[in-house]
Amino acid sequence: MVALAAVATGCMTHESMGNMAEKLDMSQFYLPNAEASKIVSVSSNTNGPIGATVYIQTHAVAVKETGPKETVAKFGEVYAFSPNFFAVHKDEPTLIQFLNLQPDDNHDLMLYAPDQVFMKLLLPPLQDTAYVFTFHREGLFNMLCAMHQPSMAGQILVLPPRAK
């Protein structure tokens, strides 16, 4: 967990990275490497076989434009993934579509397990970003927006393969 904390906290603060006007370092975003792909493979090719589809939206819970002002003053801007928990099956290609509903805020998605960060994707404002995820290991995986943590987080439960 220490390595993950270093990676997650090594990111810029949510206030500077989430703002669309700020320039992002695109080298911070990556898909799983060869070693990580043994656990979860991710493809931008959404035309292949797909066993399931999940839609995840970004939601503004408390932002400076609409408040509540007290919440924003105490916690900063607060965002969330919806849903923030879902289940998939091992070795089943799953199309996950991320819908960033904010017109002026970037988000990202960092997928990790307690021992490893697998990937980090940029979710630009008002865009639909889709990838096919295939998990090759059962268990619980965490996801978060490093720009708006800790509130913008969730989990993916990978279940055993479907019975054939």
State pTM to two decimals: 0.83
Q: Terminus-to-terminus CA distance in the chain, angstroms?
A: 36
CA–CA separation, 67 and 22 (whole Å): 22
Distances in Å between the Cα of 69 and the Cα atoms of 36, 61, 101, 111 are 42, 12, 21, 31
Average pLDDT of the chain?
86
Please state, for a pLDDT cut of 90, what percent of the chain lies above it: 71
Chain segment 1-50, per-residue pLDDT in tens: 333 333 333 333 334 445 545 567 888 889 999 999 999 999 999 999 99
Walk me through the domains of the chain, giving residue ranges and CATH numbers.
Answer: 2-154 (2.60.40.420)
Task: With beta carbons less than 8 A apart as the criterion, state whether 61 and 79 touch.
Answer: yes
Task: With beta carbons less than 8 A apart as the criterion, state whether 49 and 93 touch.
Answer: yes
